[in-house]
Amino acid sequence: MIDLKSLHATGMTGLRARLFLLRGGILLLFGVLFFRLWYLQVIHEERFRQLAENNRVRTIAVQGPRGVLYDRYKRVIASSRPAFNLTVVPDDLLDLDAILQLFKGHLDLDLEEVKKKIESAYPYASLALKRDISRQELAFIEEHKIYLPGITLQIQPLRYYRYNDLAAHALGYLGEISEHQLKAQSDGEYRMGDMVGQYGLEKGLEPFLKGMRADRLLEVDALGRELRLLRPEQFIPGHSLSLTLDVDIQQAAEELLAATGKGGAVVTLDPNTGQVLAMASRPSFDPNLFAAGVPRKIWAGLVTDKKHPLQNRALQGLYPPGSVFKIIMATAGLEEGVIRPDTAFFCPGSFYFGGRSFRCWRKRGHGSVSLHRALVESCDVYFYQLGRRLGIDAIAKYSHLYGFGEPSGLGLDHEKGGTVPSTSWKRQRFHQPWYPGETISVAIGQGYNQMTPMQLAVMISAVANGGKVYRPYLVKRIETPEGRAEKEFEPELRWRLPVNPQNLEFIRKALWGVVNEPGGTASKARSKFPGVEVAGKTGTAQSIGGEKYGMKGIETEDHALFVAFVPFDKPQMAVAVLLEHGGHGGSAAAPIAGAIIERYFQLHPLPGMPKPPELGVIPDFSQRTLTTPGVRGPRPKVAPPSRKILEERDVGPEEAD
């Protein structure tokens, strides 16, 4: 007989066991869930809160506008303008390869480089793929934005150079910060992708010019699309610079140089302060090309260009000074007592020394010539004789006194100091003795002599102002965003020439004769304005090759030089002109200086001076566009006004030295 009570008891026991196991399993499950919640919400609360916030909120870093660059009359040279940047938040991208494929053929991007950039970037930060996109690219992005999750358009300030390539070598350019620069910073103010000064004033005064970064907070949806602005950015613009440059004189210098079609440099200084009124170098480049990141093709074209448009010839170009060096020779001869103002030498057209004939530029000779006429007519034989008497070390002494052999101190990148040859210099450089015959070439600014146009401008300034050697400078004032002067720069006198004032005045009068006396080599620099008397010295420097090797053509022609100051009695401006392969200084460089001087006094007439006649108008550089990437703008088929000015001065090959 079946015991029903026993079966019931056994069934109840099994049920209770199963219920117990079920309850235990449920409790264990809730325990695990509770532990997981505790682990997520307590142990890793900050991490997951940040992840959630990153999915909802985007932080867009906005760099404050860079400081404005003004000329000496408060005219804007460089400022900032709004630009659309194509940006991405890597974590929001659903299919990177599909997006890059969509970009192909529509956006000017190196897609492989973009892919590497995105894959190595921080996933939640906004990354700029391309700055200052074109209207066509903007329209394409807007049209396809539904297919581009994570891709956004941001308005950011972009550096803008109003006059394109005007003073490009002085102002410099921007570039994306490098990994090396990023690692070198100590304050953490920069991030990968930031644009920083890489050359010129933009680099040298980067700490002042850069704007302070601010963050713009946006709420986004699951696809990274902007929903609303949570917090606008409150950036601070960078400090502004008031420069010593005069836009009008700078334009004149650049346009006159460009009209020749040759490389070269022009430097104009205020001889009483060292302020740089203009510093031009040709060929040049447009720094606007760098503001948004220069394309590789354009950069490659610039750095491989045989004409070296990135080189600042005013500071980095090294040239023999030619007969301009005779100013130093005359100073040394008078101060060392080896000649007097009335000392004369006979010039038959050549000078024999050490079994070699050294020619004068005038083959028939100058006859008996005094120091005054030797400077006015640039007689080579006179200075051969003087060099033989002085010796190389005395010549080197006065070269150093005028500032040669070391940078001028302007403070821009890679300024060269040039070469002042001496017995010790040659022994150290070549481990050879100095030979007397080498002094003969140095005496007329040839041989080992190498100087920059800036150094020549400093030298002629010292002659103009009575012997004061000033440090040239480009910045007058650094101003806060509110317009308050944070730092002002004053003239810095480096030293005074230890020269008898009578000797210096004698040289000044001879330089007046170079321009204004019959037979002077710089008659084409004469001013058309009454009361504006120019004093100067021409120079013609041999380039590598040339007649010596029987080579013909523009690349072996001599370099043309001219230095001047004006007005003679109370100088306001000193100028140095260097024209590569330009020929003779009197026929090629002097007319350029004369035209710049006329431009200056057209704009700044002397008290009581009649209204100057209208000269050729230098065109507004802001209207030019580029033909060759990064180098120059198109030229009208008609001769530009600057060329007309040169033609009016009867520029030709007949003028000597």
Tens digit of each residue's pLDDT (9 = 90 or more) over 79-93:
999 888 888 877 777
The pLDDT mean for the chain works out to: 84
pLDDT tier at 172, thresholds 50, 70, 90: very high
Rounded Cα distance, 640 and 189, in Å:
47
What is the reported pLDDT for 184?
A: 81
Residue 527 has pLDDT above 50, yes or no: yes
The percent of residues above 70 in pLDDT, for the chain, comes to 80
**Cα–Cα distances in angstroms (integers) from residue 128 to residues 72, 116, 214, 293, 313, in the given order:** 36, 13, 16, 11, 35
Residue 298 has pLDDT above 80, yes or no: yes
Domains in the chain: boundaries:
60-243, 247-648
The residues near 611 (Cβ < 8 Å, ≥ 6 apart) are 605
What is the reported pLDDT for 614?
A: 57
Residue 345 has pLDDT above 70, yes or no: yes
What is the reported pLDDT for 146?
A: 78
Residue 11 has pLDDT above 90, yes or no: no
What is the reported pLDDT for 580?
A: 95
What is the reported pLDDT for 547?
A: 44
Residue 133 has pLDDT above 90, yes or no: no
- Asked if the domains 60-243 and 247-648 are classified in one and the same CATH topology, the answer is no
**What confidence tens digit (pLDDT) does each residue in 482-503 have?**
889 999 999 999 999 999 999 9
Phi, psi of 387 (to 5 degrees): -65, -40
pLDDT tier at 619, thresholds 50, 70, 90: very low
Judge whether 323 counts as a catalytic residue.
yes
**Mean pLDDT score, 134-152:** 82
What is the third-level CATH fold of 247-648? Beta-lactamase (3.40.710)
pLDDT tier at 97, thresholds 50, 70, 90: confident
What is the reported pLDDT for 654?
A: 41
**Mean pLDDT score, 241-247:** 97
What is the reported pLDDT for 49?
A: 57
179 CB-contact burial (10 Å; exposed 0-12 / middle 13-18 / buried 19+): exposed
Residue 32 has pLDDT above 80, yes or no: no
531 CB-contact burial (10 Å; exposed 0-12 / middle 13-18 / buried 19+): middle
What is the reported pLDDT for 623?
A: 42
What is the reported pLDDT for 149?
A: 78
Exactly one of 284, 323, 461, 527 is catalytic; name it. 323
**What confidence tens digit (pLDDT) does each residue in 540-586 have?**
998 765 444 344 544 678 999 999 999 999 999 999 999 999 999 99
What is the reported pLDDT for 223?
A: 56
**Mean pLDDT score, 246-269:** 96
**Strand 76-88 with 127-130, pairing:** antiparallel
What is the third-level CATH fold of 60-243? Penicillin-binding protein 2a (Domain 2) (3.90.1310)
